Structure 1
Amino acid sequence: MVERNLRCRCLISGAILSAVLGFAATPAAADVSLYENGGLKIDGAFTGGIAAFSSPGAQFGAGSWSNNGAAAPGKRISGHPAWTEWFIHPELKAAYDTGTHGTFYGDVSAQVTATGGDGDASLVSTTYGRPILLELENLYGGWKSGNLVPFLDENGLDISGGRQSFRVADGFLISNGVNNQGKRGMYWTQSRTAFEQTGILKAASGPVRGDIFYLQNVSANSKLDPGLVDNAKTRLIGGNLEIFENLASEDGKPAKDGATVYADRKWYAGITYFKVFDASNGNNFAFGNTGNGGNTTVTNTLTSNRDGMNVFSAHVGGNVLPFLPDFSLYGNYVYENNSSNNKKVNANAWYIEPGYQFSDLPMTPKLTYRYAHFSGDKSPGDTTKKAYDPFFYNAITRGYGTWFIGEIIGNYVISNSNVNIHEVALSINPLDNVKLSVLGFTYNYDQKTQNAGVTSDNLAREIDFTAEWTINDHLLLTAAFGMAKAGTGYREYLKNNANGWDADKTWYLGETALVVKF
């Protein structure tokens, strides 16, 4: 008990020290105008960040292990991993306003990313070995219509293509085009988001907007990490249609633009469909191909069986009741189906999240509850995969716990598949630019028999304490402290997958991050 208390004190002290050091940071400037003449404008931008982590009792005592080349534990790295992540992202933007025929634009950027120390706290660490990488992030161009299309908003038609980011709603299904693992590092920070290839048409008229999109992700199974095969290379085409309402304008600031900026929406509702017309389906992404390195079951790799899949989704979010402005409701439903050849899939996921902001009370506390369901596979040896494929979800769009649900379990145990989650969160704002939150989670396997040797659906429990300080428009400092206890089901899983470890320790995590953007 004494040892655990000392560890907790060290983690909390580290978070406080980081907050104090944050006061000394120099505020960043706005976007830098490099050249402007006539209709041509060239700007520079920069984003950078650094984060530090300490995780005593990782994996409930089993610790973090290296990859033996088959996505299974090799050697034990540490039972108390500590690591850092940092990235630098310079960007160059150009736009040419023709005056009468719309605006042509382009963007190019790169990122340097690095993970130091022991790497992340996953059972099999994907960032062990202190990776560092310089890689292209954005390289795309496009055209906006200006006032050329009379029945659309100004710039209501936007056509673009190339290497860029793309998100639907709050990122439950589509947000992140690359896995920040292996030599890319940045497992927690998730600084890279661009898809490798895109073709996107956006249209907006009043409260209605829509997208037609072609996407190809950056596969983790690449020349960078030929042994890392956790994400099938995927090409898809689809559409998204939404209705929304803008937030009220703020004094002295531009009008809100919910058609293009997710955070500018008071509420929204929409439907999405896409078809995967090509995906990696060999080796670890194959089914019934055990003699050539393929899956022994359809659920060994979550992103297998994508080729030919149809995905349907409906989503809602924001302050949906005008007569109750303090009430919010977020939700999403996704259904996945594939009946082509032997790559059968029948899976689903959904969540519902009501919340209430007590705006008349001091510090405007907000209370939310979320239930999230991600289907599992009761019979992984049959011919149909029922485990949900999480596709391209991202980390933070609405704050801590968004789609990496829990700083410990959500980041380093689950992959938003075969799990049901209850979450309760309470946040307060002691200052306009400071948010403090406490989040509690319970996790249960949806289908315990998906994992061999697991007889209990009790996966884990977790509680997190978080702080977010928006120092100014360009500087953000965050800190979090969490602790988790393993359930019987995950202890059984670790005994089978971590060389017999009986993982009964409390797992702690302390983290802090500073992000600069201009």
Structure 2
Amino acid sequence: MVRHDLRSRGLITGAIMSVVLGCSAVPAVADVSLYEQGGLKVDGAFTGGLSLFTSPGAQFGAGSNTAGSGTARRISGRPSWSELFLHPELKASLTTETAGTFYGDVSGQLTATGGDGDASLYSTTYGHPVLLDIENAYAGWRSGKTLTSLGLEEDALDLSGGRQSFRVGDGFLISNGVNNAGKRGGWWNQSRSAFAQTGIVKASHGPVRGDIFYLQNDSSQQKVQVNLDQAKAKIVGANIEVFGNADQVEGGPARNGATTYGDRKWYAGLTYFNVVNASNDGPFSFGSTSVRSGGTSNYTVTNTVTSNREGMNVLSLHLGGNFIPAVPDFSLYGNYVYESNSRSNSKVDASAWYIEPGYQLSDVLWTPKLSYRYAHFSGDSNPDDDKKTAYDPFFYNSVSRGYGTWFMGEIVGNYIISNSNVNVHMLNFSVNPRDDLKLSVLGYLYNYDKKNQYSNGTATMTSDSLAREIDFVAEWTITENVSLSGAFAAAQSGGGYRQYQKTQGFSGNDDKTWLLGETSVIVKF
């Protein structure tokens, strides 16, 4: 097991290396060819990462605790821990002249968390979890030249099914099919992302891409660690996007925004899905018979973020990139999501949205960039009625456009909020001293959307002030195979969060400055 004590050196290592070294995204690397003859090709790939953390003043002094309100045991006031993942992958494809390309992918993943687990109020990864399991197991077919006689492009149609990842836009709504908590042992790295079951049709022509999809999230630990998993959900939906390809780099491959998100200069799209089946009972129920109002159900506000899913309709509009040719340094990202459910005992009326303009001075030394984001995730002002208005974040992931998406803040975004019942202001300033080095400063201000959501019979919340945070991030691409990242963060609690801790049975010693140092190395072949 990956178990070691980082207490004596963790803060020094985290603080120094976090400021000096870093990289949030692994560069694209060609797979390793294992066999190729005729149209048959077999490739191998490997990704691995090791991350170290230390967090003095965790939870503003309340510390990290074992799960279970009322029976929680304090783990540490300054937890230090590690996360490891190893992900070998095998890919095969058979290209034919008249029947397109058949392909498949299988991969496994080992994840492990050592030390004190993590810095959540109720730790999601304490107990040194280690898990070796299948990540990808899917097969598919691309049309190749079979449809070109109909006026379509090569590989215009792609059909696939099995266990695989799937993302829409920058991952605000659909990106991650698994909750990396509990026995999965990789909360910060978020290295597992595959949906347990998928059936996906992708079609593209020119600047238009369309998807029809069936997805089921991985909720395999729901029965044994229910508070550390989402409600099991099966969704059916469609997505259509129009996009523009980014400029081709001299000597590099042609851009293909239809299949690669990073190849897009801009995009805009519409997504709709229906939850055809979901876990709506027990801790995933929601209604007027809550314990806090004198009832006997398992309902609590904090574990029903993913409740009332069955029958839910979800509509999303999204856009991003550099839309104005005359002003190529200006960028704009945004997303709006509306969730509704009119089923008896499963009513939902919730929403979320964000807007994020940015500007980069590409002709100035170190190409500084400044962006601002406002993100809104609805809360529930009356959780004791029979309608849920707290936003369900569904399947968002951590890094798609860099730090802060969509775990907004290395402290608060990772270990407090779940992208529901919160409004977030973010200011992001970055410079690039070298092509392979990026330095950023991110500031956050968090407020509860509906402070009454967490009040109970013994403690009432009167403040919507959650916290404020500042992150210093460094990202260094050492080689095309190795990247190093780091961050140093500090956060202070607001009156609302101190009141929330009291609703959870914690009181006093809850206004310390919370610090976090983290470093991560990722290797990819």
TM-score, normalised to structure 2, is: 0.92
Q: Structure 1 residue 215 and structure 2 residue 205: aligned? A: no
Closer, same or farther: CA 498–335 of 1 in aligned 2, 3 Å: same
1:338 is matched with which residue? 341
* CA-atom RMSD in angstroms: 2.0
Distance (Å, rounded) in 1 between the aligned partners of 2:71 and 2:514: 19
1:164 is matched with which residue? 164
Distance (Å, rounded) in 2 between the aligned partners of 1:189 and 1:60: 23
Distance (Å, rounded) in 1 between the aligned partners of 2:29 and 2:465: 49
Compute the displacement of 1:152 (Å). Answer: 2.4
3-state SS of the aligned residue for 1:368? Answer: strand
The C-alpha deviation readout for 1:207-260, integer Å capped at 9, x for no partner, is 00000000000016435x344354100000000000000011111111000000
Residues 31 and 45, structure 1, Cα contact 8 Å, conserved in 2: yes
Distance (Å, rounded) in 2 between the aligned partners of 1:264 and 1:72: 50
Q: Structure 1 residue 482 and structure 2 residue 489: aligned? A: yes
The C-alpha deviation readout for 1:12-52, integer Å capped at 9, x for no partner, is 23536877xx9xxxx99842211111111011110000000
1:127 is matched with which residue? 125
1:109 is matched with which residue? 107
Closer, same or farther: CA 296–183 of 1 in aligned 2, 3 Å: closer
AA aligned to 1:245 is: G
Q: Which moved more, 1:245-254 or 1:265-274?
A: 245-254
The C-alpha deviation readout for 1:90-126, integer Å capped at 9, x for no partner, is 0000000011210000000000000000001000001
1:425 is matched with which residue? 428
Compute the displacement of 1:282 (Å). Answer: 1.3
Residues 395 and 403, structure 1, Cα contact 8 Å, conserved in 2: yes
AA aligned to 1:215 is: L
1:466 is matched with which residue? 473
Compute the displacement of 1:290 (Å). Answer: 5.2
Residues 72 and 124, structure 1, Cα contact 8 Å, conserved in 2: no
AA aligned to 2:512 is: K
Distance (Å, rounded) in 2 between the aligned partners of 1:9 and 1:44: 37
3-state SS of the aligned residue for 2:364? Answer: coil
1:239 is matched with which residue? 238
Distance (Å, rounded) in 1 between the aligned partners of 2:39 and 2:467: 57
Residues 172 and 332, structure 1, Cα contact 8 Å, conserved in 2: yes
Compute the displacement of 1:501 (Å). Answer: 3.4
Distance (Å, rounded) in 2 between the aligned partners of 1:115 and 1:234: 27
Q: Say how many residue pairs are matched.
A: 504
Distance (Å, rounded) in 1 between the aligned partners of 2:406 and 2:506: 30
1:350 is matched with which residue? 353
AA aligned to 1:440 is: G
1:439 is matched with which residue? 442
Residues 284 and 293, structure 1, Cα contact 8 Å, conserved in 2: no
1:305 is matched with which residue? 308
Closer, same or farther: CA 138–464 of 1 in aligned 2, 3 Å: same
- Among 401, 405, 409, the alignment partner of 1:406 is 409
Closer, same or farther: CA 432–7 of 1 in aligned 2, 3 Å: same
1:371 is matched with which residue? 374
2:141 is matched with which residue? 143
2:6 is matched with which residue? none
Residues 85 and 191, structure 2, Cα contact 8 Å, conserved in 1: yes
Closer, same or farther: CA 300–10 of 1 in aligned 2, 3 Å: closer
Compute the displacement of 1:502 (Å). Answer: 3.9
Compute the displacement of 1:500 (Å). Answer: 2.1
Q: Structure 1 residue 283 and structure 2 residue 282: aligned? A: yes
Which runs of no fewer than 5 residues in structure 1 stay unpaired?
1-5
Q: Structure 1 residue 359 and structure 2 residue 390: aligned? A: no
3-state SS of the aligned residue for 2:478? Answer: strand
Compute the displacement of 1:9 (Å). Answer: 5.6
The C-alpha deviation readout for 1:252-292, integer Å capped at 9, x for no partner, is 11100000000000000000000001000111012346589
Compute the displacement of 1:299 (Å). Answer: 6.7
3-state SS of the aligned residue for 1:438? Answer: strand
Distance (Å, rounded) in 1 between the aligned partners of 2:227 and 2:308: 18
Distance (Å, rounded) in 2 between the aligned partners of 1:14 and 1:266: 33
Distance (Å, rounded) in 2 between the aligned partners of 1:65 and 1:136: 30
1:83 is matched with which residue? 81
Residues 491 and 502, structure 1, Cα contact 8 Å, conserved in 2: no
What's the % identity of the aligned pairs? 62
The answer to which structure, 1 or 2, has the higher relative contact order (CA under 8 A, 6+ apart) is: 2
Closer, same or farther: CA 203–220 of 1 in aligned 2, 3 Å: same
Distance (Å, rounded) in 1 between the aligned partners of 2:42 and 2:331: 40
Distance (Å, rounded) in 2 between the aligned partners of 1:451 and 1:270: 35
Distance (Å, rounded) in 2 between the aligned partners of 1:232 and 1:272: 21
Distance (Å, rounded) in 2 between the aligned partners of 1:320 and 1:276: 33
The C-alpha deviation readout for 1:125-163, integer Å capped at 9, x for no partner, is 010000001010000000000011123221110000000
Residues 297 and 380, structure 1, Cα contact 8 Å, conserved in 2: no
2:418 is matched with which residue? 415
1:252 is matched with which residue? 251
1:155 is matched with which residue? 155
2:46 is matched with which residue? 46
3-state SS of the aligned residue for 2:154? Answer: coil
Distance (Å, rounded) in 2 between the aligned partners of 1:361 and 1:14: 27
3-state SS of the aligned residue for 1:430? Answer: strand
AA aligned to 2:312 is: M
Residues 229 and 284, structure 1, Cα contact 8 Å, conserved in 2: no
1:510 is matched with which residue? 517
The C-alpha deviation readout for 1:365-401, integer Å capped at 9, x for no partner, is 0000000000001111111100000000000000000
